[in-house]
Each structure stands twice: as structure tokens, then as C-alpha cells.
């Protein structure tokens, strides 16, 4: 697994170019990497996971106000069950997080430290996301500031998940195989459970350990489109743990809701024709509501 020391992006030009090349290789070959020395403090990450865990542990009658199947809602709680049985396989809460002052007032206020701790994490991880995107753009041979203004005005969503402890004999997935419709997703997790599909090894599933102090960076569908397929969005899933429950926070960075994303013209030529049609996050949300069988990224391919 590739680990990027974010502080090295601020060293001399040679060091930065080496790190950018490493990011290029990781994005092209694996679709993900992890970062360390990223500037999001241990206190901020621990407090965010702690408040999220306390929220999920509340009795359901204290959370029902947020329950919804409407994928357009800016604050939405959803529960998933095993084969429609009584046992919950996953709880999810999605929170719009930018501009944070527009949304944080509608976030849960129980536990009382939820908005403070999740808000601090959202601000810090968004800053990190923009920094990482500068390096990713550079790794594509584009300026580090390429589409920066769009990213700065873009959607930022925080997605919290709780995967209850599973029975030792269970082989039920906590979250089925999928790609994220983001530019990138940055993942914070309490314990291991993430698995990545390795296209270099006959699409075998590989466990990705949760390493203390690191954050995972996953390539999303819109970066696949923007790169004209040079970088592939990574298929991933989550396995449940028989020893304890798992809590995770996904930070999803996207372009503005209605902005159309298409392959960068600098990456399109006779040898590399345009491979994806333009699409927006708004279109993706409509696609989700349609319950189509085909994956969204497949529907974008020309």
C-alpha cells in the first residue's frame, strides 16, 4: 500500500516531484493511497469518531427525525438490514458540510458535542482534500490549480457509517462493492474493514489495514472521467467485524451540484480520444433515484 507523507509536498521541487510521481502511480495502478502527516490532528479525528459513535448509540426514537430515503436531503439517516430481518447491518448518516455555516445548524445536536467535533473534522479534512487534489492534478500533467475554483465552491459531504459487530459465522458484507461518485473520498475509520478490488491481481479483494494516524484517499468516478480513464475509480467494500463494531467517516469532495464534468481537454488527443460523456453530481443523484441496474460510471462511457 502506498503511503504519502503530505509534508513532503512542501519540500523542495525535486522532493515534491517524486511524491507527485508516487501519487500518479498509486492512482493509476490501485485507485487509492493513504496519507500520513496530513495535518488533521489525532484529537480532531478521535473526537469526530467518538461523537459519531455516540450518535449511532442513541435509541432510535431519538434519531428518527433524520430518517429518510430521499437521497437529496442534506441531512439524512438511513438503516440497512440483513435480508429484511430485524438485525441492522449498517447505519448511515449523510451531512452536507460546505459552506459549513449553511448546514451545521441542521446537523444532529445530540450528543451535544456532535456539531463541534464533526464540524472541526469537516473543516480540516476539506482543507486536506483541496491540497491533495492540487497534487493529483499535477500528477496528471495539469497545473496544481486546475479547476481549483470549482473545487473550492464544490460539494463537500460527510458520510458517517456504523457497522455493528457481526456473528463469527456470518459472511454478510457491511457494505457491498461500489465506487464513489466523487472526485476523491478521504476515509477515517475506527478499525479495519475496508477491502479494495485489485485489478492487477485478477480482481482479487485485498484487505486494507487501518493504520493509526493515516487517512485513506479513494479515487472517485468524477476523477476517472476528468482523467479520461487514466485513473480508475476504485471498487471497494466493507466487511463486518466479529469482535467489535466499526465506525467510519467518509469525506466526499465533488464539484458543484450542477457543474458538468468531462475529460480534461489537455488529456484528449487522437491517440487518447474522449472516453466519457459529461455529467454532473445532480445527474448522478437522479440516477440513484432511478434504481438502474447499470453502474453510473459504465453509463458515462462512450
Domain for residue 10, yes or no? no
pLDDT tens figures, 179-233: 998 999 999 999 999 999 988 888 899 999 988 899 999 999 999 999 999 999 9
pLDDT exceeds 80 at position 235: yes
pLDDT tens figures, 133-146: 999 999 999 999 99
Domain for residue 287, yes or no? yes
Alpha carbons 237 and 226: distance in angstroms, whole number: 24
List, edge to edge, every strand of the sheet that includes 156-163: 3-5, 32-36, 215-219, 184-189, 246-253, 156-163, 88-96, 75-81
Domain for residue 162, yes or no? yes
* Parent domain of 233: 42-125+147-300
DSSP one-letter code for 275 = -
Q: How confident is the model at residue 88 (pLDDT cuts 50, 70, 90)?
A: low
pLDDT exceeds 70 at position 86: no
Do the beta carbons of residue 207 and residue 131 sit within 8 Å? no
Domain for residue 3, yes or no? no
Burial (CB count within 10 angstroms: exposed 0-12, middle 13-18, buried 19+), residue 33: buried
| Residue 285, pLDDT score | 85
**Which of residues 176 and 256 earns the better pLDDT score?**
256
- Number of domains composing the chain: 1
Alpha carbons 32 and 184: distance in angstroms, whole number: 9
**What CATH number is given to the structural domain containing 163?**
2.60.120.330
Listed range (16-20, 200-204, 246-250) with the worst mean pLDDT:
200-204
Alpha carbons 125 and 7: distance in angstroms, whole number: 15
Do the beta carbons of residue 219 and residue 141 sit within 8 Å? no
CA dist 267 → 127, 225, 230 (Å): 27, 11, 9
Domain for residue 151, yes or no? yes
Domain for residue 115, yes or no? yes
Q: Compute the mean pLDDT over every residue in the chain, rounded to the nearest whole number.
A: 92
pLDDT exceeds 70 at position 83: no
pTM for this prediction: 0.94
Return the C-alpha cell found at 53. Answer: 459513535
Handedness of CA 175, 92, 29, 268 (dihedral sign): positive
| Residue 167, pLDDT score | 67
Q: Where are the beta strands (DSSP E) in 53-172?
A: 75-81, 88-96, 156-163
Domain for residue 131, yes or no? no
Domain for residue 272, yes or no? yes
| Residue 169, pLDDT score | 58
Residue with cell 445548524: 105
Amino acid at each position: 500500500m502506498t503511503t504519502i507523507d503530505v509534508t513532503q509536498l512542501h519540500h523542495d521541487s525535486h522532493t515534491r516531484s517524486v511524491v507527485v510521481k508516487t501519487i500518479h502511480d498509486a492512482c493509476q495502478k490501485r485507485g487509492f493511497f493513504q496519507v500520513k502527516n496530513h495535518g488533521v490532528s489525532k484529537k480532531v479525528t478521535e473526537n469526530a469518531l467518538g461523537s459519531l459513535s455516540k450518535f449511532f448509540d442513541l435509541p432510535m426514537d431519538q434519531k428518527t427525525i433524520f430518517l429518510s430515503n430521499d437521497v437529496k436531503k442534506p441531512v439524512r439517516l438511513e438503516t440497512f438490514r440483513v435480508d429484511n430481518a430485524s438485525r441492522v447491518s449498517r447505519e448511515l448518516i449523510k451531512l452536507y458540510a460546505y459552506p459549513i455555516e449553511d448546514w451545521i445548524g441542521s446537523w444532529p445536536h445530540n450528543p451535544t458535542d456532535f456539531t463541534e467535533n464533526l464540524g472541526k473534522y469537516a473543516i480540516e479534512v476539506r482543507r486536506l482534500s483541496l491540497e491533495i487534489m492540487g497534487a493529483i492534478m499535477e500528477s496528471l500533467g495539469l497545473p496544481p490549480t486546475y479547476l481549483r475554483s470549482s473545487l473550492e465552491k464544490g460539494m463537500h459531504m460527510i458520510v458517517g457509517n456504523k457497522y455493528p459487530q457481526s456473528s463469527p459465522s456470518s459472511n454478510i458484507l457491511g457494505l457491498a462493492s461500489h465506487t464513489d461518485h466523487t472526485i476523491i473520498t478521504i476515509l477515517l475509520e475506527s478499525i479495519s474493514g475496508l477491502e479494495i478490488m485489485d485489478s492487477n491481481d485478477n480482481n482479487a479483494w485485498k484487505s486494507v489495514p487501518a493504520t493509526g494516524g493515516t487517512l485513506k484517499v479513494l479515487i472517485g468516478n468524477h476523477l476517472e472521467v476528468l482523467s479520461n480513464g487514466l485513473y480508475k475509480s476504485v471498487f471497494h467494500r466493507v466487511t463486518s467485524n466479529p469482535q467489535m463494531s466499526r465506525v467510519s467517516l467518509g469525506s466526499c469532495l465533488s464539484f458543484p451540484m450542477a457543474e458538468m464534468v468531462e475529460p480534461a481537454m489537455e488529456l484528449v488527443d487522437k491517440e487518447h480520444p474522449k472516453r466519457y460523456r459529461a455529467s454532473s453530481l445532480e445527474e448522478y443523484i437522479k440516477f440513484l433515484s432511478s434504481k438502474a441496474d447499470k453502474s453510473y460510471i459504465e453509463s458515462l462511457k462512450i
